[in-house]
Amino acid sequence: MHYFLTPEQLMIQDLARKIAREKVLPVRAELDEKEEFPWELMKIFGEAGLFGVSISEEYGGFGGGVLENCLAVEELSRICLGVATSYAASGLGAHPIMLYGSPEQKKKYLPDIARGKRLAAFGITEADAGSDAGSIRTTAVRKGEGYVLNGTKQWITNGGEAEIYTIIAITDRAKGPRGASAFIVEKGTSGFNFGKKEKKLGIRASATRELVFQDCFVPKENVIAREGMGFIVTMRTFDRTRPGVGAQGVGVAQGALDEAVRYAREREQFEKKIISFQAVQHLLADMATLVEAARALVLSVARYIDHEKDPKDISKLSGMAKVFASDVAMRVTTDAVQVFGGYGYMREYPVEKMMRDAKILQIYEGTNQIQRNVIGLELNKEYAGKKSS
Ligand SMILES: Cc1cc2nc3c(=O)[nH]c(=O)nc-3n(C[C@H](O)[C@H](O)[C@H](O)COP(=O)(O)OP(=O)(O)OC[C@H]3O[C@@H](n4cnc5c(N)ncnc54)[C@H](O)[C@@H]3O)c2cc1C
């Protein structure tokens, strides 16, 4: 099915697909095995202009929006979710600057991010503050012409590899939701170091690392928006990046479906191709239906967000896209392993990696339970005061 994409959008999709097949596919198993950050691939993405897909032309990007990002992310995730995560995390780190950065901040950081010259990352999570982001303990205390940051961020994608970090820290706890601020912190800033590098179940080509701030001075020019806007910057960023997590789900699910159909057409048991068994056909049929449904939701939500700019129901819809597509990814990749039988459990075949990789999509950028909380709350608000028909 096609989604009425413009020639420019089709070009982005084709470009990402070509690079994923030609450059990512040959190295994905090795990157996973060695848990190696894909620097060579990041350079190739940068040269091809993929990092600039959603960055405005003024800052050296392509000028697309959420939809264009989803198209690129889906194609990369179809081949390797670990590589796609590293790519998408740079977009996540850049988003606060794209949405709320001053003209000077945009000019200073976005062109390099668009060209892939410098990667970005986003850090809010801490050891005791995951879903409950309001309980972060990293502080930013005003001092002279800037702020002094202290605290440790945990599980930050692109940690150690990125050069530009958008960090959420508490500036005035008494102010509650207005008590946090967003800062740009560059790698190499005195007092900013990297801690533990995680060993993970999946997306092993991506780097997940602690960020440690010890009396780290950040000039006031590096505050994004203004003091007190940290949680708003975070929420608006996630509203626009969560469809991208949905696109990761569509991509990895499509990749698993591709493998499963191919395998079912080749594997013989009882002197027949296993695709001739109705039980296998039905499994594949359900997988294909879910993938298409997830893609339709993700691309519709992305297009709607771009078209309406900042729609009131953005949190609900981007949450729906993330929840649905990531649950589809988990189910479809698990079923792909089933289609492969015992071979699916072995590392020689790509579907076990896809299943391991897919799990993260139900966890990061807000767990699926938290997304369902958001969707439920929004529904309650929408229906408040509505009379029953
Ligand atoms: C590989 C990886 C990469 C990541 N990358 C980044 C990154 O780049 N930047 C960043 O800032 N963070 C990142 N994270 C952090 C990620 O966003 C958090 O792990 C996630 O938000 C969940 O927080 P938690 O792990 O502390 O789980 P918890 O919040 O401790 O939740 C544990 C369980 O309780 C459930 N739960 C908690 N509260 C509620 C509730 N109110 N209602 C219902 N259920 C609830 C959760 O759904 C979950 O099932 C990353 C995490 C991982 C694993």
**pLDDT tens for residues 219-269?**
999 999 999 999 999 999 999 999 999 999 999 999 999 999 999 999 999
Q: Which residue has the tokens 């950081």?
A: 109
Q: How many Å lie between the centroid of ligand 1 and the Cα of residue 8?
A: 36
365 is catalytic: yes
Q: How far apart are the CA of 157 and the centre of ligand 1, in A?
A: 13
Beta strands in the chain (DSSP E): 120-123, 139-143, 146-157, 164-170, 180-186, 192-197, 208-219, 223-224, 268-269, 272-273
pLDDT tier, 385 (very low <50, low <70, confident <90, very high otherwise):
confident
pTM above 0.95, yes or no: yes
Query: Among 81, 87, 126, 131, which is best to mutate for testing ligand 1, by the most ligand atoms less than 8 A from CB?
Result: 131
pLDDT, residue 389, reads: 67
- The dihedrals phi and psi of 163, each to the nearest 5 degrees, come to -105, -25
d(Cα 107, Cα 111) in Å, to the nearest integer? 7
- The confidence score (pLDDT) of residue 387 equals 75
> Which protein residue has the closest C-alpha to ligand 1 atom 6?
156
* Per-residue pLDDT, 388: 74
- Our answer on whether the CB atom of 125 is closer than 6 Å to any ligand 1 atom is yes
**Mean pLDDT computed over 340-369:** 98
How far does the centroid of ligand 1 lie from the alpha carbon of residue 359, in Å? 12
Mean pLDDT throughout 188-200? 98
Q: Residue 120 pairs with which residues in a beta bridge? A: 164
Q: What is the pLDDT of residue 270?
A: 98
| pLDDT > 70 fraction of the chain, expressed in percent and rounded | 100
Mutate to test the pocket of ligand 1, among 92, 357, 367, 377 (most ligand atoms within 8 A of CB): 367
Query: Which ligand 1 atom is at minimum distance from the Cα of 198?
Result: 1
In this predicted structure, the answer to whether residue 83 has a pLDDT above a threshold of 70 is yes
- Check if 168 has its Cβ closer than 6 Å to any atom of ligand 1: no
Angle at 274 between CA 270 and CA 277, to 5 degrees: 90
Mean pLDDT of the chain: 97
What are 141-192's pLDDT values in tens digits?
Answer: 999 999 999 999 999 999 999 999 999 999 999 998 899 999 999 999 999 9
Which pLDDT score, from 0 to 100, does residue 211 have?
98
202, amino acid identity: G
pLDDT value for 199: 97
Query: For residue 15, which amino acid is it?
Result: L
Cα–Cα distance measured from residue 357 to residue 350, given in angstroms and rounded to the nearest whole number: 11
Q: What pLDDT, on a 0 to 100 scale, did the predictor assign at position 33?
A: 97
Element (H, E) at 292: helix 278-308
pLDDT class for 1, splitting at 50, 70, 90?
confident
The dihedral over CA atoms of 110, 112, 117, 120, expressed in degrees to the nearest 10, equals -30
User: Angle at the Cα of 241 (from 23 to 45), degrees rounded to 5?
Assistant: 20
Cα of 96 from ligand 1 centre, angstroms: 20
154 lines ligand 1 (CB under 6 A): no
pLDDT of residue 309: 86
Indicate which residue's Cα is closest to atom 7 of ligand 1. Answer: 156
Average pLDDT, stretch 190-215? 98
The 10 Å Cβ neighbour count of residue 49 is 17
**Is residue 363's pLDDT more than 80?**
yes
Q: What value does the mean pLDDT take over residues 137-144?
A: 98
- Residue 89, Cα to own-chain centre: how many angstroms? 6
